[in-house]
Amino acid sequence: MRKKISVIGGGNVGATTALFLAEKHLGDVVLTDIVEGMPQGKGLDMLETAPIRGYHGAITGTNDYKDIEGSNVVVVTAGLPRKPGMSRSDLLGMNAKIVGQVCENVKKFAPDAVVIVVSNPLDIMCYHALKVTGFDSRRIVGMAGVLDAARMRCFIAAELGVHPADVIAMVLGGHGDSMVPLATGTSVSGIPVTQLIAPDRLEAIFERTRKGGGEIVSLLKTGSAFYAPAASVAEMAESIILDGKRVLPCAAWLTGQYGISGAFVGVPVRLGASGIEQVYEMKLTDAELKALQVSADAVKADMKALDEMAKA
């Protein structure tokens, strides 16, 4: 039986994700959005691209959540994008309502799916998805570190004039300004990055990584990044659909790892058919561990704010 992946939200991130998934030959793709005609039009356009690009799965656009029934993976991209000057936390209340409605339908129509959350503020929307669906926490995973690490890999490759694929990078923590780009575990074909880049230049790369999303928002002015986020989602979905056992930095529900409990925080995890199969605890420097815990505290503060909104 063919696998099925549903993408909720037909905007730039969702539609590009659907295309990248189709090109990976992972199964049938369903693009869902509340705007009448929009997902149908984009789905048809992608379907008509198949003879040229060589993929063969069904691509369906729909306004009906019932069409996500039987999905192995559901990707949640629905929500409002950031605007210039807007932090991810500013989106909290607005996107919580949207993501909550989406997750109610995921719970109803795709109760066995692994859910990849992309909507911002990412870590808090993962928490919200967990509460609304009631799923095992291993089946809720946030797309954060894959994207942030890709940005850092890109910046390091440009600094050194090397192929980006030869750069291995790790970014932990919340998906925002408190994220923690690591020197530990970051290398170029096995060579520690600290042997190749001076500390001040490396710190500048770390800071650009932290501000990577905002840099694109400020340039676009009317939207946010979508190519790299979509590619990051596709990489995660591929590991789940194919039971690939990839070890990737993702937002996961922690239960004591790194001294953190009760929050979604970006950490290295093994992704397989059942979702998050294992959380890996890296040996960090004291400064890196402290920064990770501070980042987790920032996530918990937003979680508390969301809970207060729900009580109001």
Q: How far is residue 249's CA from residue 224's CA, in Å, rounded to a whole number?
A: 21
249: left (phi > 0), else alpha (psi -120 to 50), else beta? beta
Q: Could you tell me where the beta strands, DSSP code E, fall in 79-159?
A: 114-117, 140-142
Does residue 121 have a cis peptide bond before it, meaning omega lies within 30 degrees of 0?
A: yes
- Cα dihedral angle (119, 124, 129, 135), rounded to 10 degrees? 130
Helix axes 199-210, 145-160, angle to 10 degrees: 140
Active site annotation includes 128: no
Q: Which three-class secondary structure state does DSSP give residue 267?
A: strand
Identified catalytic residue from 25, 56, 163, 175: 175
DSSP letter (8 states) at residue 85 = T
How many Å separate Cα 9 from the centre of its chain? Answer: 14
Question: Residues with catalytic annotation?
Answer: 175
